Amino acid sequence: MSLVINTIEAFPRGRTTQELFALLDVDFDHAMRLRIQGELSTLQKEGVITLGRDRKWRVIARRSVASKPVDRPSIGSLPQPDNEIMLACAARFSTEPLSIIPEPEKADGGVPDPNAVLRYYRSALQSDPRGALTQSDDRHGTAFQLVSGRGAFFPPDEEQGVISICLNGLPNSFREAIQRREANENALAVGWPISIGRQQGAPVIQPVGLLAATWDRAADNLVISIPANDILINPDWIKAAARGSAWSEGSLREVFRVQSGSGLTSDDFLGRLREAGARNIRGQLAGRDFLAAVDPSDEGIFDAVGLFLPTGSSFTAGAVRDLDKIASWTSKNWPAPH
């Protein structure tokens, strides 16, 4: 008999995924966490267990103690939720010394080569894919993916944040989406926390804050590197939050503005969000113990983190296209030196 099922049955009032990890003593065993999450997902699809709105797992029908198993209810006979639960992939969160970005190479005479400069700035722009981001829940596992676990990934000075996910634990559709982008870009945005709202009656998923990140493969893991603790507010969330509150769009944007034009540190960002979005925050918002599942039918701001692949609406998309156009110029297109 499954130890996971036995544990859930022992607690009729339900237990969250993180509580199950603690009860099964696998908090620090990445492989076992992945296996348990996979089993939870399978049991849910088979109609054996359900995830409630309080994010606690419960057995739908308790089994008989007799050796002969009872018939499991078919999925079609069970009340179906309007939207499928978004399950996060288990991840490790940490920080490490910051990698040094190489400067563009110089041509003869110590003057930077123009094409090298273009490549350098194009790379720098592509490493920041943040912009206006809104996704639908049915794009989970393709255009974006939630990840969960314990630990901090907001890097202190001279360090970078690292999120490591076992490739086998990612949905195949998300791995394929990464593969398609691999030849051209390895940038993505890390979104935290995650806001769920509704537009025209359908759920919409919006990261509230966005961090620039890059990804790479290391052995059997997808490794996300976050070079700076520099959070930008998602303009789409500003618009949505202002529509449903007493805030005007301008005044809410001003709350998250900094004089330097850069982003906010995680502590500063969280302090401002707790004041500006207090009534919409669901549960504790700390940025150190991320949810393992989110129900898109629940509205509010959740302590969840997601990986969002770049879209054409990122702030830097236009600048990247301009640099590509300039890179195609011949020497006669360049302005004459003064």
Cα dihedral angle (269, 201, 299, 252), rounded to 10 degrees?
30
Instruction: Supply the pLDDT for residue 141.
Output: 93
Per-position DSSP letters for 186-221, written without gaps between them: -EEEEEEEEEEEEETTEEEEEEEEEEEEEEEEETTE
pLDDT at res. 36:
85
| Cβ proximity of 259 and 293 under 8 Å | no
User: Could you give the CA distance from residue 286 to residue 264 in angstroms, rounded to a whole number?
Assistant: 16
Peptide bond into 69 cis (omega under 30): no
pLDDT of residue 315: 47
Which residues of the chain are under the pLDDT cut of 70?
A: 1, 27-28, 30, 61-83, 99-130, 183-184, 260-261, 311-338
140 with 309: CB under 8 angstroms?
Answer: no
Instruction: Tell me what pLDDT residue 153 has.
Output: 93
Which domains are assigned to the chain? 3-80 (1.10.10), 87-321 (no CATH)
pLDDT computed for residue 82 by the predictor: 45
Closest CA to 294 of 279, 283, 278: 283
DSSP state string for 73-94:
PPGGGSPPPSS--EEPEE-EEE
Neighbours of 132 (CB within 10 A): 16
Extract the tokens encoding 252: 């809410």
pLDDT at residue 91, as a whole number: 95
Q: Which ranges of 59-201 does DSSP label H, i.e. alpha helix? A: 114-126, 172-181
